[in-house]
Amino acid sequence: MDTTRPLVGLPADTMEKEGLPFHILGDKYAVAVSDVAQCHPLLIPSLGDAGALEDLVGGLDGLVITGSPANVHPSHFGHEPTEAHEPYDHPRDATTLPLIKLAIERAIPLFCICRGHQELNVVLGGTVATEIQDLEGRDDHRGHLTDVTQRYLPAHAIEITEGGVLHDILGTTRTMVNTVHRQAIDRLAEGLTVEAVAADGTIEAVSIDAAKDFALSVQWHPEYKAAENADSVKLFEAFGAAARARHARRRGATAVAPMRAAGA
């Protein structure tokens, strides 16, 4: 392994096949982290507390919380579960929610995408709206559900907050994004700042107010063929730069520690 590259964790979804549990990660996330962010992607099994998460994050230089077919269980944001909230992935909830908390506490570069965008809001005390296409005044953000070649094409514009974190990265106040979701942030958590919205008011990006490093969350999927999209390249390069800076700090601390011990 090339130890000069930062190590970026990507928590897995879980699924069952032929009665056996599996931990899975979409290839597009791993490729975006490896090829565009120029970091080593590390799949984190969704084992919850059994995963010794506190020990794990100490060795990470960044964390990407991915999208998923499953949704955050509504019990995590004070709502009663209904069919509209399904499907669920309880092992993922038990892993990603504490991981996000740890990343914020330890100032680990954090990039949340789609479900991860909603998870960040839930972790900080916000709520999630389900089946937003059925809400008055809201658009259908589910995208093309059957044709993969069409699913991730740019679908609608977003307005980006001038002078914000996302504006600084992309250098524009308006761009086009894809859309593949039926849930969205409802009540925004305290400590988050809106970075972009869609025309119907859907919150498309947020940042963490007190973040000491890269901490950005988006509702769309910048990881899909990231190297071919100028905005995606900027996002993953900015995340990669933050991960490299943390990696350099960690390597420096590791190199200095034995010298101090020898002189003690």
Among 114, 119, 141, 247, which one carries the catalytic annotation? 114
**Positive/negative CA dihedral, 56, 2, 107, 116:** negative
Gap between the Cα atoms of 205 and 161, Å rounded: 10
Q: Is residue 247 among the annotated active site residues?
A: no
Q: Is residue 86 among the annotated active site residues?
A: no
Task: Quickly list DSSP for 35-96.
Answer: IIS--EEEEE---GGGG-HHHHHTT-SEEEE---SSB--GGGGT----GGG--B-HHHHHHH
Q: Is residue 114 among the annotated active site residues?
A: yes
**Residue 254, SS3?**
helix
DSSP annotation of 191 reads: T
Among 227, 173, 258, residue whose Cα is nearest residue 33: 227
Type of residue at 85: H
Which residues are identified as catalytic?
114, 221, 223
